[in-house]
Amino acid sequence: MLDLSSMRDLQINVEDRTAWAEAGLTAGEYTTAAGAHGLATGFGDTGSVGIGGITLGGGVGYLVRKYGMTIDDLLAAEVVTADGQVLQVDVEHHPDLFWAIRGGGGNFGVVTRFKFRLHEVGSVYGGMLFLPATPETIASFIALAESAPDELSAIANVMGAPPMPFIPAELYGRMIIMAMLIYVGDPAEGERVIAPFRAIATPYADMIKPMRYPEIYPPEDNSYHPLGAARTMFVDSIDRSVAKLIFERLQSSTAMMKVAQLRVLGGAMARIPSDATAFAHRKSRIMVNLAAMYQQPEEKAKHEAWVGDFAAALEQNDRGAYVNFLGDEGPDRIRAAYPGATWDRLVEIKTRYDPNNLFHLNQNIPPANGN
Ligand SMILES: Cc1cc2nc3c(=O)[nH]c(=O)nc-3n(C[C@H](O)[C@H](O)[C@H](O)COP(=O)(O)OP(=O)(O)OC[C@H]3O[C@@H](n4cnc5c(N)ncnc54)[C@H](O)[C@@H]3O)c2cc1C
């Protein structure tokens, strides 16, 4: 294992709106430092995630509809290849490698530094909204998120209400939508755009307010490490009947926590051609992450079966998968992350830059020579 966690240098160029960031930084550290200048690059929903992994797999977060994925703000990188060369890669230098590291994960070398574009994102209007979950509220939430302007990115976690201080104790375990909504723009306009979400049903809790962008990453509980059975997938639509299926399947799980995380995509992310980066799911409409969290290892088979059946029941036309949410699920699922010509091009680039498959402890794209 290569531990890059002590590589945390960050050079922010406020004039140019760019930053060179060493790969050991976390999304939260980067976001806090950039936020001090009213600037941001979009990462995911969790501050403790490293910028290395999230960037190399794609990066889907709260700016995805407004500014695209993390890789859409990647301008250059420094890559140490399998043969020990240190390459500076961008659209003009080693463009093939630059294409491959925007979604292809850690298959092509070790990235020591990333150069990102920064956007002016000072304050945003957003936060958490807790709504009762029913097939109707889930479907309404998705329909609103789909028709919202690109300034709004939303994540809806349909789940049993967790024991949180601001949720009345009698609701614990009841099905809720724990949503995170972020509107990047004028707060008054954000309030107007978010109003229909608040009106879906009487919220159990409403923590949406104007806030500084780095506040999207609240402090985390580092002691929480449950076991998990999970699946990631894309679906084309979530109408009332699909929402009903989600609602009922979640209730059929005996896991201590079960969740269906729904992320409506589109916007800036979808305006980039699918072959522009190794992440090719530009046209995917909704990302769904299913998970059952449990404590006893012997429960694994039961929860894996539940999540597998759930994913199969939800399957629609889009059979892709987002590599950063894949578990150890075998070669077919890695192929689902890299459809068609994307896979062929990745294999060709892998064969050139890492013919011996030195970097194979990952969602592996093996070279064409069988190594
Ligand atoms: C709680 C949680 C929330 C998440 N939320 C989101 C989200 O909202 N959006 C999203 O897009 N993803 C999300 N993810 C997925 C996340 O993007 C991946 O788990 C990612 O791999 C994490 O990267 P890391 O550097 O922290 O992990 P690591 O375990 O350090 O890295 C994972 C793999 O990435 C490769 N890698 C990492 N850094 C480098 C490098 N510098 N050079 C070469 N290869 C490298 C290696 O193959 C490594 O094994 C989430 C994950 C978690 C755990």
Tens digits of residue pLDDT in 11-35? 999 999 999 999 999 999 999 999 9
78 has a pLDDT exceeding 90? yes
Q: Is the CB of 57 under 6 A from ligand 1?
A: yes
Nearest-CA residue for atom 7 of ligand 1: 44
Q: Whole-model pTM? A: 0.97
Whether the pLDDT of residue 122 is over 90: the answer is no
> Is the pLDDT reported for residue 77 higher than 90?
yes
Å from CA of 323 to ligand 1 middle: 10
Reported confidence tier of residue 165, pLDDT bands at 50, 70, 90: confident
Please write the tens of the pLDDT for every residue from 36-74: 999 999 999 999 999 999 999 999 999 999 999 999 999
Query: What digits encode the pLDDT tens for the residues 189-239?
Result: 999 999 999 999 999 999 999 999 999 998 888 887 889 999 999 999 999
Ligand 1, pocket-test mutation among 4, 31, 54, most atoms within 8 A of CB: 54
Categorize the per-residue pLDDT at 2 as very low, low, confident or very high, splitting at 50, 70 and 90: very high
Ligand 1 proximity of 105 Cβ (cutoff 6 Å)? yes
> What pLDDT digit, counting tens, does each position of 313-367 carry?
999 999 999 999 999 999 999 999 999 999 999 999 999 999 999 999 999 999 9
pLDDT in tens, 142-160: 999 999 999 999 999 999 9
Cα of 186 vs centre of ligand 1, distance in Å, is 31
Q: Which atom of ligand 1 is nearest to the CA of 79?
A: 42
- Predicted pLDDT of residue 226: 83
The answer to whether residue 163 scores a pLDDT higher than 90 is: no
Residues 130-145 pLDDT 10s: 999 999 999 999 999 9
CA geometry: angle 93, 99, 105, nearest 5 deg: 120
High-pLDDT (> 90) share of the chain, %: 93
Predicted local distance difference test score (pLDDT) of residue 306: 98
Q: Is the CB of 324 under 6 A from ligand 1?
A: yes
- Distance set, CA 214 to CA 27, 122, 222 (Å): 10, 9, 19
What was the pLDDT predicted at 225?
A: 81
CA of 7 to the centre of ligand 1 (A): 16
Give me the pLDDT at residue 275, please.
98
Ligand 1 atom with least separation from CA of 155:
8
Cβ of residue 245 lying under 6 Å from some atom of ligand 1 = no
